[in-house]
Amino acid sequence: NACLQSPAMQSSQSLWGLDALDGKLDDKYGFDLTGEGVNVYVVDSGINVRHPEYEGRATNIFTADTVKNQEQDDCTGHGSHVAGLIGGKTVGVAKRVNLFGLRIIDCGKTGSVSDAVEALNFLSTNMKMPAVINLSLGSTESLRGDTLPRALNALARRGASVVIAAGNSEREVCDTSAPSMTTVPNTFVVGALDRPSAQELARDNYNPRRAKFSNFGNCVRWWAPGVDMWSTANTTIDVQGNRMAFESRQGTSQAAPLVAGVLAHHLQANPNLTPSELQARLA
């Protein structure tokens, strides 16, 4: 078990999400698997591939037409934060995965259904198996309609494990009468768990509970830590002019990549597992 430490963090409790994943709050992260050989695709705002946390394992492979004139790899930092939680060498769940960024969110923190579908269609002909696709796109309400669910369903049928953040509107999101990302079969819709109190941390007596902001419903079958999640930042410039360091964020956007990392563990051990088989293992 590796002790949870990182520069720029005040204590190992800053990585409580990793600590909670292995079932015991002991300031250690106890998984032996690393996700090596698994390909995780982050459909988001891009990845700051120069960050040392990724150890050269991160590559941006797609940029939507609407954001091609933006200078930075990731000007919002959101995609970099998500990628770090999946596969950062210190802050990540699966510390040896291959990370691929698909940039559909612009510097104004906006994106569109058409850009998301364009990215997913790109993956339909370019993804390498075994594959996990992470979509931490925030508002599931603004992404309603059947175009995006059809694209996600096609990738799931091809064997990709699709992980979707449930959203942060504190509402039920599983109405099957209105097609949305959260109602696509054989995908992993993830809600956020709140951070344990200081007393719970001290006593190793964490009672998992939904973060107040997290969406919910019967389609939200997977839950992971999503409050005060430290990961890779794209906001601090070091002496060489590179954007580095770490920062804390919260949301179902931070919970989903933890599940993506766990799926990478399973796929490392058995690359032929289907999404439905993985669902049964994580149930």
For 121-168, the DSSP string reads HHHHHH--SSEEEEE--S-SGGG-SSHHHHHHHHHHHTT-EEEEE--S
Let me know if residue 6 belongs to a domain: no
Q: What is the pLDDT of residues 119-159, one digit of tens each?
A: 999 999 999 999 999 999 965 555 667 899 999 999 999 99
- Evaluate whether residue 4 is within a structural domain: no
| Catalytic-role residue among 51, 78, 81, 265 | 78
| Of 6-15, 140-149, 175-184, 205-214, the least confident | 6-15
Q: Quote the pLDDT of residue 257.
A: 99
Q: What is the CATH number of the domain that holds 38?
A: 3.40.50.200
| Residue 12 among the catalytic residues | no
In the chain, the number of structural domains is 1
Residue 119 lies in a domain: yes
158 backbone dihedrals φ, ψ, rounded to 5°: -80, -5
Decide if pLDDT at 249 tops 80: yes
Residue type, 104: I
pTM of the predicted model as reported, rounded to 2 decimal places: 0.91
Distance CA 169, CA 187 (A): 20
92: left (phi over 0), alpha (psi -120 to 50) or beta: beta
In this prediction, what percent of the chain has a pLDDT beyond 70? 87
Report which listed range, 70-79, 97-106, 110-119, is most confident. Answer: 97-106
CB 227 within 8 A of CB 83: no
3-class secondary-structure state, position 115: helix
Confidence of residue 11 (pLDDT cuts 50, 70, 90): very low
81 catalytic per annotation = no
**Quick one: pLDDT band at residue 283, thresholds 50, 70, 90?**
confident
In a domain, 1, yes or no: no
Flag whether 5 is in a domain.
no
What sign does the CA torsion over 247, 252, 253, 257 have? positive
> What local confidence, expressed as pLDDT, does residue 112 receive?
87
**Of the residues 80, 136, 214, 253, which is catalytic?**
253
- Examine the residue annotation and report whether 78 is marked as an active-site residue of this protein: yes
Query: Is 30 part of any domain?
Result: yes
Kindly give the pairing relationship between strand 229-237 and strand 28-29: unpaired
* pLDDT tens digits along 34-76: 999 999 999 999 999 999 999 999 999 999 988 876 667 888 9
Q: What's residue 44's pLDDT?
A: 96
Spell out where 4-57 has E strands. 28-29, 39-44
Q: Are 143 and 181 in contact (CB under 8 A)?
A: yes
Instruction: Choose among 82, 135, 144: nearest CA to 113.
Output: 144
Nearest to 221 by CA among 267, 275, 264, 273: 275
Neighbouring C-alpha atoms within 13 Å toward the C-beta of 245: 15
**What distance in Å separates the CA atoms of residue 113 and residue 244, rounded to the nearest whole number?**
30
Q: Is the pLDDT of residue 19 over 50?
A: yes
**Is 2 inside any structural domain?**
no
Q: How far apart are CA 16 and CA 27, in angstroms?
A: 7
Any domain includes 136: yes
* 3-state DSSP assignment of residue 18: helix
pLDDT at 7 over 70: no
More confident of the two residues 108 and 223: 223
Backbone angles phi, psi at 195, to 5 degrees: -75, 140
Region 218-240 average pLDDT: 85
* Number of residues written out for the chain: 283
SS3 34: coil
Instruction: Label residue 10 by pLDDT band (50, 70, 90).
Output: very low
Q: What is the pLDDT of residue 225?
A: 96
Domain containing 129 equals: 11-282
Q: Two tokens at 138? A: 């925030």
Between 203 and 91, whose confidence is greater? 91
Q: Is the dihedral of CA 112, 114, 116, 122 positive or negative?
A: negative
Apex CA 258: angle with CA 255 and CA 260, to 5°?
A: 115
Catalytic position from the list 19, 44, 74, 106: 44
Q: What percent of the chain has pLDDT over 90?
A: 62
Which of residues 178 and 87 earns the better pLDDT score? 87
pLDDT at residue 22, rounded to an integer: 78
Computed over every residue of the chain, the mean pLDDT equals 88
The CA distance from 177 to 50, in Å, is 43
Say which residue, 221 or 6, is predicted with more confidence.
221
